[in-house]
Amino acid sequence: MSELANLTIMEVEALTDLGGGLNLTDGHARLVLSAQQAAIVERIPDMFTEASNRPFPDIEREAHAAFLGAIGQHSAPIGTGRILSCYSSTLATDIVARALPAGAVIAVLHPTFDNIADLFITRGLSLVPLFESALLAQEWPEPPVRAIVVTHPNNPTGLIVPEDHLRSLAEHAVRHGQTVIIDASFRGQVREAQYDTYAILEAAGASWIVIEDTGKLWPVHELKIGLLAYSERTRLPIERAFSESLLAASPVVLKFVTALAGDWVNGGYERARALVERNRAVVQETIRSAGLRLADPDSQISVARIGLPAGGPDSSVLYKEMVTRGVHVLPCTPFHWADPEGGLRFIRISLARPFEVVERGARTLAQAYRDLSVDAT
């Protein structure tokens, strides 16, 4: 791995490991289908037939209503034409980055997944960090910042933007002519994050953009949709940027999302939550033997940061050692995109895996840390 590798490169290396190493990198659900999900997969041929016989707008609107309703977003602008279906939330983010004025100053939550910052930088925007501590203190960026980007819940920390904080941010943005941009890719995993953000943004009269994602919820091998929603007040050329990237998402995948969203509100959410929390518990218990701890014990998303004590091996060293032992995790320096050294004492492990895989990965991590600590003495 190059020292300049980003998180996605590390995830691809894990996904394509010819040696069959454990992949505990990305936050996608890589699980065995539940019986309910397997029954939905068996209906995919019927979805092809329906996609050929029904108007695309009807299928798309139905998917938007099912998914956004399943995650509590009842005020989303369904049926207005202001929700665009993309292949992924990453593509949706890139569309937003291209729609923003070149050279504009953008505040981006810190730390957060590095491709958010990378996409904005690549499109010629100037970034300043909005630290989580500032968000919690409701210390919002002033102009010349044109847009404020928050991740809700945040990856990798699991931080949820409290409802009153979002209201404060929206009102601040209105006063200063700023746009609020929310990446809600992990929202579907956490009930507390599912308050109706669209209602809050609209009540404040804000210019807003929200990105949603189905890809973190279900083990469906990238058959996913990213939703790009925006307010009527938003004057950015979002539709033009969208048209430069794709024609439309697959109506078959939209039908698939509709069915999976139905399962999500009928026990699917609870089944997924129970698995993730069981995995979080085994990680917490296993790493304790090596003197390690969960950095964000209250996080509810399907990844977990592990704090590494000062004086011991840092995450860059531990990451490389883990790869040699056949387990892929993520060092956290790239999440700290404005201050990489701030992530040296954290490493991230995915929890959306079968229990046995997570348990083995946690054991390997604990042993690797112990061995590296002994070697350093």
pLDDT band of 374, cuts 50, 70, 90: confident
Average pLDDT score over residue span 183-201: 98
CA atoms within 13 A on the CB side of 28: 19
Are 243 and 363 in the same domain?
no
pLDDT band of 281, cuts 50, 70, 90: very high
Are 188 and 240 in the same domain?
yes
pLDDT at residue 277, as a whole number: 98
Give me the CATH number covering residue 342: 3.90.1150.10
- Is 84 part of a structural domain of the chain? yes
User: Which ranges of the chain does DSSP label H, i.e. alpha helix?
Assistant: 7-15, 35-41, 44-53, 56-70, 89-99, 114-122, 132-136, 163-176, 197-204, 238-243, 251-263, 269-288, 315-324, 355-376
CB count within 10 Å of CB 114 equals: 19
Are 281 and 187 in the same domain?
no
- Is 217:272 a contact under the CB 8 Å cutoff? yes
pLDDT at residue 4, as a whole number: 57
* pLDDT above 90: residue 5: no
Average pLDDT score over residue span 34-47: 98
Are 229 and 317 in the same domain?
no
As a whole number, the mean pLDDT across the chain is: 96
Per-residue pLDDT tens over the stretch 323-340: 999 999 999 999 999 999
Are 248 and 327 in the same domain?
no
pLDDT band of 304, cuts 50, 70, 90: very high
* pLDDT above 90: residue 3: no
Global pTM reads 0.96
Average pLDDT score over residue span 299-323: 96
Range of the domain at 26: 7-34+267-376
Per-residue pLDDT tens over the stretch 72-112: 999 999 999 999 999 999 999 999 999 999 999 999 999 99
Of the three residues 262, 289, 308, the one that is the final residue of a domain is 262
Are 185 and 213 in the same domain?
yes
Average pLDDT score over residue span 136-160: 98
- Structurally, the chain folds into a number of domains equal to 2
pLDDT at residue 376, as a whole number: 64
Are 72 and 12 in the same domain?
no
- Is 63:212 a contact under the CB 8 Å cutoff? no
- Is 1 part of a structural domain of the chain? no
Residue 351 neighbours by CB under 8 Å, 6+ apart: 276, 279, 280, 283, 302, 303, 304, 358
Of the three residues 262, 281, 308, the one that is the final residue of a domain is 262
Are 151 and 293 in the same domain?
no
CB count within 10 Å of CB 356 equals: 9
Are 257 and 280 in the same domain?
no
- Is 2 part of a structural domain of the chain? no
Q: What are phi and psi of 26, to 5 degrees?
A: -75, 160
* pLDDT above 60: residue 27: yes
Give me the CATH number covering residue 251: 3.40.640.10
Are 157 and 29 in the same domain?
no
Are 26 and 67 in the same domain?
no
**Residue 219 DSSP label:** -
**Residue 26 DSSP label:** S
- Is 61 part of a structural domain of the chain? yes
- Is 92:210 a contact under the CB 8 Å cutoff? no
Q: Measured between alpha carbons, how far is 264 from 270 in angstroms, rounded to an integer?
A: 8
Per-residue pLDDT tens over the stretch 162-190: 999 999 999 999 999 999 999 999 999 99
* pLDDT above 80: residue 2: no
* pLDDT above 90: residue 18: no
- Is 308 part of a structural domain of the chain? yes
Of the three residues 229, 262, 295, the one that is the final residue of a domain is 262
Are 288 and 145 in the same domain?
no
pLDDT band of 377, cuts 50, 70, 90: low
